[in-house]
Amino acid sequence: MKAKDIMEQVKDYLSPDDTIKNAVNKMRVLKRDDGIVGVKGMIVLDNEGNLVGMVSVKDILKAIIPFYMTMTELGEFTWEGMLAEMTKKVADKKVAEIMMKDVITVSEDAPLMECADLIVKHNLQRVPVLNKEKKVVGIIYVRDLYNAIVRVLLDDKEVQNL
């Protein structure tokens, strides 16, 4: 099996100029192939459709809760309402400011073992799949890879009963 055999087609993406608020909304309503609504990360494409980054829930949380918060004295502020207040402050920040720019990808013809190796080695939750023209055609999520393993290990009757 190859990456193209288990990937999900790209249904939507973010632009570097999207706001965090817009990104959160797109991630919240995007429907996966398995019917589940909501994703924890999306690709970021430029105007020509080239992959320029990826945004995950963790990237959004890092934008809301800056690293210096751990150095601040706890007595200087109250925790009550703090998350909501900080979230509103970054709502209009651009995706380009928080996205991960060095994205690990696989080609659509990559063997699943290569995909599994990248996911495990780099502790990834999703890997964009590129065609020969280096355009994103799909995404492999950890769950997609796991489901491929399940189909190999179990026969059709056992898979249907899951």
Q: What is the average pLDDT across 29-57?
A: 89
Q: What is the average pLDDT across 44-69?
A: 87
Q: Report the C-alpha gap between 73 and 25 in whole angstroms.
A: 33
User: Do the beta carbons of residue 126 and residue 139 sit within 8 Å?
Assistant: yes
Q: What is the average pLDDT across 111-131?
A: 94
Looking at every residue in the chain, the average pLDDT score rounds to 86
Q: Is the pLDDT of residue 143 over 50?
A: yes
Domains contained in the chain, CATH given: 3-160 (3.10.580.10)
Instruction: Return the pLDDT at 110.
Output: 96
> Residues with Cβ < 8 Å from 117, sequence gap 6 or more?
none
Instruction: Return the pLDDT at 90.
Output: 82
Q: Which percentage of the chain shows pLDDT scores above 90?
A: 59
Instruction: Return the pLDDT at 156.
Output: 59
Indicate yes or no: pTM above 0.85. no
162: confidence class by pLDDT, cuts 50, 70, 90: low
Angle between helices 112-121 and 142-153 (to 10 degrees): 130
Q: Report the C-alpha gap between 62 and 98 in whole angstroms.
A: 8
Question: Which has the closest alpha carbon to 99: 129, 54, 58?
Answer: 54
